[in-house]
Amino acid sequence: MPDYQHHWKDGTPVHLPLGKIVCIGRNYAEHAKELNNPVPDEPLLFIKPATSAVHLTRPVDFPRDRGEVHFETELAVLIGRPLTNASASEAEAAILGYGLALDLTLRDLQSRLKEKGQPWERAKAFDGACPLSPFVAAEKFTGGNIHFTLDIDGSRQQTGDTHDMLNPVIPLIAHISSQFTLLPGDVVLTGTPKGVGPLKSGQTLSLELEDLLFVETKVV
């Protein structure tokens, strides 16, 4: 939305504009299985516009008149350098920070679009479809694999780990840059683990990234 601005965990603005949000579908085999989707042979990419971004620290809102809206918790990667046909080392050096995101999806609409072989944007790109957390600087992540969770009303709903990704973060970013240029301020969403489901009014969502970031929000 127009007032969205990247922020660090301490509230300091990241002085980069939000451009595009590049997403990957079916990057966890168990998530593909739970939706009865085949695992793609190469990364399945789609884009959310900047107007879909909102702050995850604010209450989560969504359309009420277009069927079920599902949450998909994802590791978000903030790009800090231009990347075109990047090597793995260049992709790694371009990662400015990590955060969390909800890839909100109009699931009923997406199912109809998939049946017709049509693009997913109508189901993925609506205003508010990408709540984004503050970011943590990339150098804070020193343990190799990155772990994240989502709890709903105090119960564990999703658990993600980069070890389980079909396309790991750095090769994924390099691949994306071979298809189109990534710019400073762009965000890459790296796929969701199993456990997705519909949002319901009144739910409390608690998201944690390692022991470095915790965000709690409510569904209005």
pLDDT lower than 70: segments of the chain? 1-2, 32
Measured distance CA(157)–CA(104) in Å, rounded: 15
Q: Among candidates 14, 56, 13, which has minimal Cα distance to 208?
A: 56
The pLDDT assigned to 8 comes to 98
The class level of CATH for 21-218 reads alpha beta
- pTM greater than 0.85: yes
Residue 218: the pLDDT is: 98
Q: What residue ranges do the domains of the chain occupy? A: 21-218
Q: Give the three-state DSSP class for 199.
A: coil
pLDDT of 2: 56
**Burial tier of 95 (Cβ tally within 10 Å: 0-12, 13-18, 19+):** buried
Q: What was the pLDDT predicted at 32?
A: 66
